[in-house]
């Protein structure tokens, strides 16, 4: 059970850091830690092949979201 | 109980060394791979941080890199052994392409981690310890102190460059 508790505690800690951080771009870095912890929780809670797919889809999707938000802040497509 | 804690400590060290080494070999601290990663690097550098380390942290946020590969490979091995790790590597590869990542750090990380984690499984360090280990490893880089972490990464990048 210890790995599950570690993932849960890290996720809650990361959420607190996201809420207290003022700059949006730096919020994304803490949000990344939360995504790691939640992905770990999904797979540890349900050790099944479909939960693995769900965990990976969650992680890749959240990375894509972070990428989109950060790129928009940096000036969007015009600045690519 | 103490065995589990020792396993997690071993897993943290192995994950930390593995993902930092692969990310630095793949030149993640050199520049922001996408405009968002460069912006995050600059934001970290403005707050007493270091630019190259900031770029690497931005790249970790904006695309599945070796750290994501290590976590997802650990999840894959936990659920389905080596085939699970290889499925994770394939999905990380697709994620890299969706995120317009020019490198292959994520896929390489997932493949390396699959075999490292399977190897450590033979001596009794279980894959679920590696999942917790990777979460703690990424916490030390991305979630504790951005200035300190970025300076450390820049120092390690200096040894490579």
What was the ipTM of the complex prediction? 0.92
Give the C-alpha separation, B142 to B150, whole Å.
9
CB distance A25–B80 less than 8 Å? no
B69-81 tens-digit pLDDT: 999 999 999 999 9
Residue B97 has pLDDT above 90, yes or no: no
Q: Find the closest chain A residue to B141 by CA distance.
A: A33
Gap from A51 CA to chain B (nearest CA, Å): 9
Residue B71 and residue A39 in contact, taking contact as beta carbons nearer than 8 Å: yes
Give the C-alpha separation, A32 to A24, whole Å.
13
A8-35 tens-digit pLDDT: 999 999 999 999 998 888 999 999 999 9
Give residue B152's pLDDT band: very low, low, confident or very high (50, 70, 90).
Answer: very high
When CB atoms are compared, the residue of B62, B88, B138 closest to A67 is B62
CB distance A59–B39 less than 8 Å? no
Give the C-alpha separation, B25 to B45, whole Å.
22
B101 φ/ψ sector (left φ>0, alpha ψ -120 to 50, else beta): beta
Gap from B63 CA to chain A (nearest CA, Å): 6
CB distance A36–B138 less than 8 Å? yes
Residue B60 and residue B160 in contact, taking contact as beta carbons nearer than 8 Å: no
Which of A14, A36, A46, A77 is the best mutation test for B, with the most CBs of B within 10 A? A36
Distances in whole angstroms, Cα of residue A43 to Cα of each of A36, B29, B67, B72, B144: 11, 30, 17, 9, 24
pTM of the model: 0.93
When CB atoms are compared, the residue of B39, B95, B142 closest to A73 is B39
Gap from A56 CA to chain B (nearest CA, Å): 7
When CB atoms are compared, the residue of A17, A52, A70 closest to B62 is A70
When CB atoms are compared, the residue of A29, A36, A49 closest to B80 is A49
């Amino acid at each position: 059970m210890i790995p599950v508790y570690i993932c849960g505690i890290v996720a809650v800690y990361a959420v607190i850091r996201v809420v207290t951080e003022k700059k949006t771009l730096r919020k994304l870095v803490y949000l990344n830690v939360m995504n790691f912890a939640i992905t770990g929780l999904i797979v540890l809670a349900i050790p099944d092949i479909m939960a693995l797919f769900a965990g990976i889809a969650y992680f890749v999707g959240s990375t894509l979201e972070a990428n989109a938000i950060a790129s928009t802040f940096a000036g969007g497509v015009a600045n690519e | 109980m103490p065995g589990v804690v020792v396993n997690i400590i071993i897993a943290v060290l192995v994950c930390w060394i593995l993902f930092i080494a692969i990310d630095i070999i793949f030149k993640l601290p050199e520049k922001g791979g996408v405009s968002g990663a460069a912006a995050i690097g600059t934001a970290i550098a403005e707050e007493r941080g270091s630019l190259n380390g900031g770029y690497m942290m931005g790249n970790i946020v904006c695309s599945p890199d070796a750290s994501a590969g290590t976590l997802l490979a650990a999840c894959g091995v936990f659920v389905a052994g080596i085939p699970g790790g290889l499925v994770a590597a394939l999905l990380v590869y697709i994620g890299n392409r969706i995120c317009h990542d020019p490198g292959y750090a994520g896929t390489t990380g997932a493949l390396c981690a699959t075999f490292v984690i399977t190897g450590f499984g033979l001596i009794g360090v279980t894959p679920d310890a590696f999942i917790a280990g990777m979460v703690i490893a990424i916490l030390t880089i991305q979630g504790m102190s951005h200035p300190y972490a970025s300076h450390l990464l820049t120092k390690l990048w200096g040894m490579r460059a």
